Amino acid sequence: MVHSGQTYAVVLALLFAVAAGLVGSFALMKRMLLASDVISHVALPGLGLAFLYGFNPLIGGAATLLLGTLLIWQLQKKTRLATEAMIGVVFAGSVAIGAVLTPKEDLVEALFGRFEDLSLTAFLVGVTAVLLIILFVFRFKDELILGLFAPELAAATGVKLEILELYFLLVFSLSVLVGLRFLGALLAGSLIIIPATTGRRLANDLSHFLFISCLASVIAVGSGLAVTRYLLPRFSPGPIIVIISAALFVLSLFRKPAEIRRRTGPLS
């Protein structure tokens, strides 16, 4: 029944869920969650060109995605207004360009993704990327935390902030790229955004935050894949995964954050 191509795809999707939860947690703390949407949307014209000229959609996506990363890196150095304006412009602009370029019959797939069996090579490439992301987060966790908490303190402790920033952005984009394949350009950013937001609701220390974000992400991907395979085979799993993820967030709203216990000081 289940052949290896399918197993590969499921294993990679679950590993990706862990990576997205971790990267999303730090992206949330850096207040750059929306950048994942910007990056994934930028990939859409690339996907469109790939479908149009018949080359691998991942290559088209990766090329435009790299462009988007550099664009954000540059604009991050400028004013807040520019970043915000960029998000608005890039969102709409790239979806529109992508919609024009992508052949009609491939548009839904480009926007919402498709869950397909993986060759061993594709699986290995994907697993390498995902492990790279996970290892990066664990290796640079302390540097990232200090940089977030007080950049001066981090610098005084010897953290090289600028290069760390670039590394993080590259890892961040890599996460979006891995998600692009099965979640599609519209939803690739959502597994970075939603589980981390759920984690933030429920945790106020780092290890719980990271753990809950990853757990929420894995539950969404696992149950989303199961639902589309056994209950709703007509749908592609991307939207189902995102719906489950959002439902988990809604559930988290019913629990009061632990911080409310003490009422002194500012609430976060």
Partner 1 sequence: MILVTGERDFGGQTESSPVTWPPQFVLPNGVSPDRNAIMQALAYAPNRADYMTPILSVRDLTIGFGNHTLIQQLNFTVDPGDNLAIIGPNGAGKTVLLRALLNLLPHEGFIEWAPDAKLGYVPQKIAADRHLPLHVDDLLAAKARLLKLPAQNVRLVADRVGLTQELLETSVGILSGGEFQKALIAFALLGDPNVLLFDEPTASLDELAEEHIYELLRDLQRERHLTILLVSHDLSVVYQFATKVLCLSRGKPCFGPPTEILTPETLEAVYSTPVKFYEHHHDH
Alpha carbon distances (Å) from 46 to 43, 125, 231:
5, 20, 33
The yes or no reply on residue 84 touching partner 1 (CB under 8 A) is: no
Shortest distance, CB of residue 66 to partner 1, whole angstroms? Answer: 30
Closer CB to partner 1, 121 or 268, in the complex: 268
Tokens of 198: 């759920």
Shortest distance, CB of residue 139 to partner 1, whole angstroms? Answer: 11
H or E segment and range at residue 39 = helix 34-53
Nearest to 171 by CA among 209, 204, 144: 144
Tokens of 254: 């019913």
Report the distance separating Cα 162 and Cα 80, nearest Å.
18
Using the contact rule CB under 8 A, the part of the chain among 57-65, 169-177, 205-213, 230-238 near partner 1 is: 205-213
Closer CB to partner 1, 25 or 236, in the complex: 25
Closer CB to partner 1, 137 or 146, in the complex: 146
> Phi and psi of 74, rounded to 5°?
-65, -50
Closer CB to partner 1, 158 or 233, in the complex: 158
The yes or no reply on residue 264 touching partner 1 (CB under 8 A) is: yes
Binding residues for partner 1 restricted to 153-172, rule: CB under 8 A: 153, 155-159
Helix 190-202 and helix 4-29: axis angle, to 10°?
Answer: 60
Q: Could you say which of 177, 200, 248, 249 contacts partner 1 (CB under 8 A)?
A: 200
Angle at 102 between CA 38 and CA 176, to 5 degrees: 30
Report the distance separating Cα 247 and Cα 220, nearest Å.
9
Q: Could you say which of 59, 85, 135, 148 contacts partner 1 (CB under 8 A)?
A: 148
Specify whether the CB–CB gap between 192 and 133 falls below 8 A: no
Specify whether the CB–CB gap between 39 and 189 falls below 8 A: yes
Contact track, partner 1, 20-39, x by CB under 8 A: ---------x----------
Closer CB to partner 1, 56 or 204, in the complex: 204
The yes or no reply on residue 250 touching partner 1 (CB under 8 A) is: no
Closer CB to partner 1, 28 or 186, in the complex: 28
Nearest to 189 by CA among 9, 48, 11, 43: 43
Amino acid found at 30: K
Shortest distance, CB of residue 32 to partner 1, whole angstroms? Answer: 14
The yes or no reply on residue 135 touching partner 1 (CB under 8 A) is: no
Give the total of residues touching partner 1 (CB under 8 A): 31
Using the contact rule CB under 8 A, the part of the chain among 5-13, 136-144, 162-170, 232-240 near partner 1 is: 136-144
Nearest to 224 by CA among 121, 112, 129, 95: 112
Q: Note the residues at the interface with partner 1 (CB under 8 A).
A: 29, 141-143, 145-146, 148-150, 152-153, 155-159, 200, 203-209, 259, 262, 264-268
